[in-house]
Amino acid sequence: MTEQPAFPFPAARPVLELAAVTKTYGEQPPVSALRGVSLTVRQGELVAVVGPSGSGKTTLLHVMGTLERPTDGVVRINGIDIADLDDQQLAAVRARSIGFVFQQFFLAAHTTALENVADGLLYAGVEVGERRRRAAEALEQVGLAHRRRFRPGKMSGGERQRVAIARALVGRPAILLADEPTGNLDSTNGASIVALLHRLNAEGATILVITHDSELAARLPRQVHVLDGRIVSDSAADATVGGRR
């Protein structure tokens, strides 16, 4: 893959690299969810991957997040080729280098916002006192310091998604992958989440948002359009760089 000048930090280190990634499900007939995707996300970027449902963007998220291995092609996280890692090491990569935010939040209902955020550090081997201390910081960062003792059930959808974002960011991952982060929110709450993502990005977080909402995508600095398992356009590069080979 040739080096492309990337917006906004051309010289920044790549944190996520996909090269000619394909993903095929099933045997007969095989279903191709990804058909040769190449994409580089550099440190400090805020990227939207946008496409209609069925375009393969959720599979792309799973492959980028190392939840699934590609059928073919190369995936590098922080320069490490995940093909060289076994399942346990992949889990460790997720624990330390990748943060996930889901449309459904996936918060534990029986415990507090603070504990939910602290769980983001559990599998990185951080001791419980330190987990809580850093969770409190992360909650402050997303503007929910006053809600740390609340259970998710007592919070609004926007607040819940902020808790989920705090949980994803508490381990200072190399990249934050957000899957339809505003999908379950009304427009006001959605806008505030987008504003939060902008602010966190300005503070240094690398964020990739997957969405079907092109309006939301338009508000982010870089848009990557996906259709039928291919990248059809990438605002940060020539249209040819995407996936048409």
Partner 1 sequence: MNTEAITAPARLRLGDQARLASVGIRSRPLRAALSALGIAIGVAAIVAVLGLSSSSQAGLLAEIDRLGTNLLKATNGQTLSGKEAQLPREAPARLSMLDPVEQVAHVGTVADAKAYRSPLVPATHTNGLQIRAASLNLPSVIATGIAHGRWLNEASATKPVTVLGATAAQRMGIDRVYPGQRVWLGGQWFYVAGILRPAVLTTEIDTSALIGYPAARQYLNHTGVSNGKPADGHPSTVYVRAVTERVGAVQSVLARTANPKAAGEVDVSQPSDALTARAAAEGAFNSLFLGLGAVALIVGAVGVANIMIISVLERRSEIGLRRALGATRRQIRTQFLAEAVALALIGGAVGVTAGVAATAVYAKTQGWAVVIPVESWVGGIASAILIGALAGLLPAIRAARLSPTEALRTV
Of 81 and 215, nearer to partner 1 (C-beta) is 81
Residues in contact with partner 1, total (CB under 8 A)?
A: 36
Is residue 111 near partner 1 by the rule CB under 8 A?
A: yes
Is residue 31 near partner 1 by the rule CB under 8 A?
A: no
Interaction pattern, residues 157-196, with partner 1; x per rule: CB under 8 A: ----------x-----------------------------
Is residue 78 near partner 1 by the rule CB under 8 A?
A: yes
Of 88 and 188, nearer to partner 1 (C-beta) is 88
* Neighbouring C-beta atoms of residue 31, cutoff 10 Å: 11
Quick one: which segment of 77-85, 137-145, 189-197, 208-216 binds partner 1 (CB under 8 A)?
77-85
Is residue 206 near partner 1 by the rule CB under 8 A?
A: no
Give, as ranges, the residues between 121 and 160 that touch partner 1 (CB under 8 A): 122-125, 127-128
Is residue 240 near partner 1 by the rule CB under 8 A?
A: no
Of 14, 18, 34, 94, the one binding partner 1 (CB under 8 A) is: 94
Of 121 and 236, nearer to partner 1 (C-beta) is 121
Which long-range contacts link 6-11 to residues 24+ away (Cβ below 8 Å)? 6/40, 6/42, 6/45, 6/236, 6/237, 7/45, 7/221, 7/222, 7/235, 7/236, 8/44, 8/45, 8/221, 9/42, 9/43, 9/44, 9/45
Q: What is the closest distance, in whole angstroms, from the C-beta atom of residue 48 to partner 1 in the complex?
A: 20
Is residue 27 near partner 1 by the rule CB under 8 A?
A: no
Of 9, 52, 72, 106, the one binding partner 1 (CB under 8 A) is: 106
Is residue 97 near partner 1 by the rule CB under 8 A?
A: yes
Of 80 and 239, nearer to partner 1 (C-beta) is 80
Of 20 and 85, nearer to partner 1 (C-beta) is 85
34-64: burial string, b at 16+ Cβ within 10 Å, e else: bbbbbbbbbbbbbbbbbbeeebbbbbbbbbb
